[in-house]
Amino acid sequence: MNASGDELAPEVRAILDAAQERPGGDTRVSVDARSFPDAVEETVADGRIPVIAEVKPTSPTTEGVRDDDPVELAREMVAGGATALSVLTEPEHFGGTTDSLRRIRDAVDVPVLRKDFVVREEQLDAVESDLVLLIARFVGDDLSDLVEAARERGFQPLVEVHTRDELVAALAAGADIVGINNRDLGKLDVDLGTFEELAPEVPDDVLLVAESGVKTTDDVRRMREAGADALLVGTAIMDGDVRQNTHALSTPT
Ligand SMILES: O=C(O)c1ccccc1NCC(=O)[C@H](O)[C@H](O)COP(=O)(O)O
């Protein structure tokens, strides 16, 4: 698969087309990042499960828009025990904004991931965050350069993969935080078996995140047993009381 992303679901094709048009920031950012590995370690030492709770106002696979104040949602997620937050900044398909991320990062003290579809270096400069998502399928041969460009700015890059080839590319690019996305961006199907299949191939010194499709405490247990150091959860937390949902998923049963 190349960075043009052929064989993508039409919704994802539209997301990628929009991402390719989006401008970057005017000035190169320099981030003093909150350490995600330290936050994960502290959560585990505290006897809890590291959850990255996602502020996801809408998406191509959810109905309606949740238009509560994103800062209030973020505060509630942290009160519920979130180790880190993921904030969608993609405006056209996920209802996100860079301004929401900025305000959330000012309001909480946990690491914040910028969840977007960054395809060019200057797009890293749109807003500061502690972690930044790089999707191996979308950036193709530019992955190593973007990992380096992100680190030069102080970001901790989280490299997202869905296939064995993407995992190999992520490790070759020096990724030390890898997210295995259970959602196939080609068909938008979600299968937790994806994580179970790829996780054994990830070296122990890589911090491994299970992304997408985690809904229940059984799913959490399944992903942890398969080797997840942390879980990234959007829909299941955004559906209802975000504090209670975060607490339920981050508390061992
Ligand atoms: O969530 C979507 O509908 C979606 C559609 C097309 C491309 C990406 C999409 N999601 C991005 C994500 O990575 C998820 O928001 C994240 O992993 C959380 O997933 P979930 O817990 O299943 O909401």
Q: How many domains does the chain have?
A: 1
**211 a catalytic residue:** yes
**What is the whole-number distance in angstroms between the Cα of residue 181 and the centre of ligand 1?**
9
Confidence of residue 100 (pLDDT cuts 50, 70, 90): very high
What mean pLDDT do residues 160-181 have?
98
Classify residue 43: in a domain, yes or no.
yes
Domain that residue 71 falls in: 10-23+35-250
- Please pick, among 100, 129, 182, 212, the residue that the annotation labels catalytic: 212
If one residue of 55, 88, 183 were mutated to test the ligand 1 pocket, choosing by the most ligand atoms within 8 A of its CB, it would be 183
Which pLDDT tens digit goes with each residue over 76-88?
999 999 999 999 9
Could you tell me the pTM of the whole model?
0.96
The pLDDT, as a whole number, for residue 246 is 98
* Percentage of residues of the chain with pLDDT beyond 70: 98
Domain CATH for 161: 3.20.20.70
User: Would 4 be classed as within a structural domain?
Assistant: no
The answer, yes or no, to whether any atom of ligand 1 lies below 6 A from the CB of 198, is no
pLDDT band at 6 (very low <50, low <70, confident <90, very high): low
Is the distance from the beta carbon of residue 233 to the nearest atom of ligand 1 less than 6 Å? yes
DSSP the chain: --TT--S--HHHHHHHHHHHH----SS-----PPPHHHHHHHHHHTT---EEEEE-S--TTS-S---S-HHHHHHHHHHTT-SEEEEE--HHHH---HHHHHHHHHH--S-EEEES---SGGGGGGS--SEEEEEHHHHGGGHHHHHHHHHHTT-EEEEEE-SHHHHHHHHHTT-SEEEEESB-TTT--B-THHHHHHGGGS-TTSEEEEES---SHHHHHHHHHTT-SEEEE-HHHHSS-HHHHHHHHHS--
